[in-house]
């Protein structure tokens, strides 16, 4: 395939960015999207130009670092995949592909397609932990009775990789699906009850402090989430938050 790429270029966080057009040729439909970006960067380096900066690590859909906004969609036109799992067979010869970083006040651009998602880390630091008895009298986790329904829901919530697609897809740049998932994975389990009240209050407070917007109730976050995190987690977070404020 021969493609035209319109890519956001921004030299640093303070610079004014702009869209720049590039041509790539002989792209195989079997390539991943990041492999296509590697081809472009090799071409730029050979021409003595600055390569396009983009985040990547595992390239297996696990780490969430590869987040790109492709043709107006977080992670591109496929569903249930991260950018590194997106393949060029989703595009056609002659296509023009627009590639941007995730846009949100709480995700400032560092360079080109790389954004700072440290806000997610700070939200998790605010309450994403449980008390652990390390005195030598710890209880085997397998010895704590948990219903299969609760265990399955907790595991579903825990599959969130923190990529930020929910934020990028929301017109208010809301992080409520992310925070809801992180609250839910503990709220559903007995191990998470010790910090339950403080957890949800602290994580919601940090979310607001970071500058994320409120939920729009449009459901775009669930649609674009590569792990299919359910909107039910937002409802659970709201219930936990209300309960925590009543108890305190």
Ordered by start, the domain boundaries in the chain are 3-111, 118-247
pLDDT over 70 at 4, yes or no: yes
Task: Label the pairing between strands 69-70 and 73-74.
Answer: antiparallel
With residue 152 as reference, give the H or E element that holds it.
helix 148-158
Task: Residue 224: count other Cβ atoms within 10 Å of its Cβ.
Answer: 21
For residues 225 and 123, give the distance between their C-alpha atoms in angstroms, rounded to a whole number: 19
Alpha-carbon Rg for the chain, nearest whole angstrom, is: 20
Predicted confidence at residue 52, as pLDDT, reads: 98
pLDDT over 70 at 156, yes or no: yes
Q: Which of 220, 232, 238 is nearest to 75 (CA)?
A: 220
Q: Which residues of 29-54 are buried (b: 16+ CB within 10 A; e: fewer)?
A: eebbbbbbbbbbbeeeeeeeeeebbb
Residue bearing the bigger pLDDT, 193 or 135 = 193
Query: What DSSP string describes 15-70?
Result: SPPEEEEEEE-S--TTSBHHHHHHHHHHHHHHTTPPPPP---S-SSSSS-TT--EE
Q: Which CATH architecture has domain 118-247?
A: Orthogonal Bundle (1.10)
Helix (H, G, I), strand (E, B) or coil at 221: helix
Cβ atoms of residues 28 and 88 within 8 Å: yes
Tell me the average pLDDT across 134-156.
83
189 φ/ψ sector (left φ>0, alpha ψ -120 to 50, else beta) = beta
Share of the chain above pLDDT 90, in %: 89
| 224, two tokens | 């674009």
Tell me the average pLDDT across 114-143.
84
Cβ atoms of residues 68 and 100 within 8 Å: yes
Predicted confidence at residue 144, as pLDDT, reads: 80
Predicted confidence at residue 134, as pLDDT, reads: 62
- What is the pTM assigned to this prediction? 0.93
Q: Count Cβ atoms within 10 A of the Cβ of residue 244 and give its class: 0-12 exposed, 13-18 middle, 19 or more buried.
A: middle
The residue count of the chain comes to: 248
CATH code: domain 3-111 is: 3.10.20.30
């Amino acid at each position: 395939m021969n493609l035209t790429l319109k890519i956001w270029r921004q030299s640093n966080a303070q610079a004014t960015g702009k869209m720049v057009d590039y041509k790539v040729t002989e792209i195989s439909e079997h390539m991943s999207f990041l492999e296509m970006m590697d081809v472009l960067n090799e071409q730029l380096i050979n021409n003595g130009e600055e390569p396009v900066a983009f985040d990547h690590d595992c390239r297996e859909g696990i780490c969430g670092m590869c987040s790109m906004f492709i043709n107006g969609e977080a992670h591109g036109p496929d569903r249930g995949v991260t950018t590194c799992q997106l393949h060029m067979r989703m595009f056609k010869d002659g296509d023009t592909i627009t590639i941007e970083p995730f846009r949100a006040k709480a995700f400032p651009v560092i360079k080109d397609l790389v954004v700072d998602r440290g806000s997610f880390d700070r939200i998790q630091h605010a309450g994403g932990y449980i008390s652990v008895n390390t005195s030598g009298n710890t209880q085997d986790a397998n010895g704590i009775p948990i219903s299969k329904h609760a265990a399955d829901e907790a595991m579903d919530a825990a599959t969130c990789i923190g990529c930020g697609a929910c934020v990028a897809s929301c017109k208010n740049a809301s992080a409520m699906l992310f925070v809801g998932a992180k609250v839910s994975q503990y709220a559903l389990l007995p191990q998470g009850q010790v910090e339950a009240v403080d957890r949800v209050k602290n994580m919601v407070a940090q979310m607001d402090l970071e500058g994320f917007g409120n939920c729009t109730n449009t459901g775009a976050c669930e649609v674009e989430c590569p792990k299919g995190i359910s909107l039910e987690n937002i409802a659970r977070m709201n219930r936990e938050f209300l309960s925590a404020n009543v108890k305190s």
